[in-house]
Structure 1
Amino acid sequence: MTSLTIDAIKLIVEGAIDLSPCIQIFFISTFGRNPKQTTLFRLEISDGTHKHKATLPKKYDDYIISEEIKIGSIIKLSEYNYPKSSKTWWITIIRLEIVSTIHEMIGESVSLDADQYCQMDQAAQLAPTSNIGVENLQNSGTLSQTKVLFGVKRPQSSSGVLSIITPIKNLNPFQTRWTIKVRVTMKKEIHQYNKQTGNGRVFSFNIIDNEGTKARVSSFNNMADAHYGNIDIGATYKISGGVVKSANKIYNKLNSGIKITLVLESIVTPCEDDPSIPKNHFSFMPINEILEQRNNSVIDVIGVVICVEPSSTIKRRDGT
């Protein structure tokens, strides 16, 4: 059985630089919006007794996205340092080796708070560490059931999301703090797009809440890659921290009238199935009312097929 280096976190904080310790990934989060920054992912690492915030070089981003490094993984710190600052305290990982990609959590680690730091080093000052938008592996029971989530500090609850659920219909572009609980009704493949403003990748999926309100959620580029494998049709999620905008009715005819974009600060948390959230929602109307609807309206109709004719080519007024 793989073991962790005893008191590795304490020894690193006290100045040891030649340990090559084995530690475990406790949390994973993303940080910041600037694509030119040197670090995209931030970690909390554990020695089985204590845990501590750590930075991960950008060269290891693909390891997290591909889940070669994930919650519970054991890594060996080949090179690191602990630069002390009056504003923040981070263990800076420079080089690492993957010892074990999948492993159960070892021990019951607690954060080293300011008092403990002062006892080890009178000059040390550490801001308390809160959960960072990643579900604790111990809460889910096994690593295989836990998926990496992405987000930043949220003081509202231990899981990093607001405990109050907001209906989709109440979301608007001026809100920055909200959490919705939804079911995924449709998931698209990652799509490559080419525009005058640049090229990129987009991933989108449709959601519905317990009031039957629907919306589309999208993520781009690295965020598309990160979220695609974690979203399943029919599953229930809590989502917070996205950017809300008005939807273009030409391309998005869902009944909420909004679209949500997932960004680095967004948190997507899998939930137990909630039977109050429908798998879909329809508002069927009689066929004789169709002509009364506005052009380009999206409607629900249920009926029996009584005739099928061969396909034919038509010509529109615009010549197409």
Structure 2
Amino acid sequence: MSSIATILDLEVLVKEAGKIGNPTPWATTTTNEDIPQLTTGFLNQLVSSTSAQDPVWATSPIVQIVQTKAIEANGPVRWRAMISDGTHILQVMMAPQLTALFQDRRAGIGSIVRVERFTTHTVQDRRIMIILGLEILVKETGRIGDPTPCTLSPEGTTPNPLNTAEPSEPRTAPPKPGRPTLPIGELNPYSNNWTIKARVTQKSEIKTWSKSHAEGRFFNFTLADETGEMRGVGFDAVVDQLYYKLEDGKVYYLSKARVKVSKRKFADGASDFELTLGENTKIEECTDDSEVPKITNGFVKLDDLINKPVNSTCDVIAIASEVGQVSTILTKDNRTIMKRDLTLVDRSNSSIRLTLWGKQAETYEDDGSHPVIAFKGVRINEFRGRTLSMIGGSTVTINPNIPDAHVLRGWYDSVGVNQSFAANSSAGSVSGGAATLNGAQMRTIEDFLTNLQIAEGAEIMFSCRGTILRVRGDNPAYPACPKQSCRKKVVETVGGWNCEKCGKTWEEPEYRYTISMVVSDHTGQAWLQGFNDVGLAVFNMSADELMEIKNTNADRYTAISSKSEYSTFNFTCRAKLDTYNGQSKVRYGISKILPLNYREETAHLRDIIKTNWAD
């Protein structure tokens, strides 16, 4: 590490003289245990690479910064640098999110950094590396090695893959006749005077955003050409100006938009950059769209979602076999959000839960037809298995007129309607001990009985902890239709058990729990209602087994019922106001039941002790 001499006092001996010796701004140093070893040869391999399959693109190289310069052009300050891998040097540009590192002097000449994300761009036959993310390993040290300029790539072409574990093969757009355009795959924040020609593959509805000091509107969209995809967004005044100029499936010339590094929270991973439309953005429809590929959907089968990364996005097409009721959840900042769960199935014999939010949840109409639904850009979540969720850039199309939908419709009507499906997630069941509840958001029974304000027809979700005092044992289960997509109550007839909804008669029903029980804590007690998952947790056996015991061995059934009492669980509940014969009553249904995790409960009590409340 370099040392800094502190001058405390000085005396002028000679006012002016010629330069003595041949000093250097910072001396060459040799590698030691305190200095990370540079990734020797990386830069020359990078500029010579012609394929994104080359190992160099999956590298997170360690390099040294040997020169920096702030570029003050029209717009925000950008930083340019020269980096060294010990043997070669290369000019690089720093992405805007790295500007603060250089302005605050946390990084500068002599710093050793690990490049976490990067891409490249060709300007006048020169390969320029664009650093998107880095980690500072050493703030400052002496120069390492005697690096020389890199050898330029003989092909003179620049692939533009991203630094990911599975880089894709770069695609270079062929020259287009007429108006010159830049392929999306080559677009980055340092591109100037560009025009792209691309097809709109997705456009959202107009949505609202709000913060503590302001609110507004926005919409997002996705553009694609033969080289890749890129997300775009427009805010406030731009919504009225440009929203209706873009239509799904059409091709446009687009220019004078801002290109910036995408926010991973909202991006779908298609590109490291995104477009922000402005008042000067120009959008012009292209009537000749033959050169831009038609929209293709890379639908993922439901059974393959387990192999996809959590929090990534994907496209799926499936049958909506079950549609849940609209419910209202209370967020941490006391906002209410509408949600609705759909159960999706497809030809892979799998099912999965997908959640609709807000307006989509409220306006979705269930006509019992089990439609084919195509989802684009839904997020993959992990909660006791895989689940799906709509996010800001997601779109939904019901019964799309595409071959995949026609095949799926025919399969479900002929085969799938009578088929059982393997659940891709176990949300709502008691298995999978990884599921937890937030102890800080627990309500006491007295609190939710007296303080919940519920509007007519709305639902509010909350959590509580309680001990079962009594389970009403007269009719703990009902005979249900064995068909997974039905589960309606069946009636015993001469020929078997008849389901009026399906129009079928079954030899035997499948019993499913529907139980009511008194739950208590230190503040009071309340009646809670639960269904099959709750019964499985309380009785630790299937409803078929319990009903068999009830009908054949009354003493054993009484013992099992007694054993189920005085057990403590964590509950996620929904409160709903029902009106019957002019009288309104709040009913509390159990959405999820979990046995106590004593390690987590102890940790929660420990955290309470550390708060001001304990003082």
The answer, yes or no, to whether TM exceeds 0.5 is no
Higher RCO (CA-CA < 8 Å; seq separation 6+): 1
TM range (shorter): 0.3 to 0.5
TM-score w.r.t. structure 1 length? Answer: 0.43
Judging by fraction of residues, say which structure has more strand.
2
Query: Which structure has the larger Rg?
Result: 2
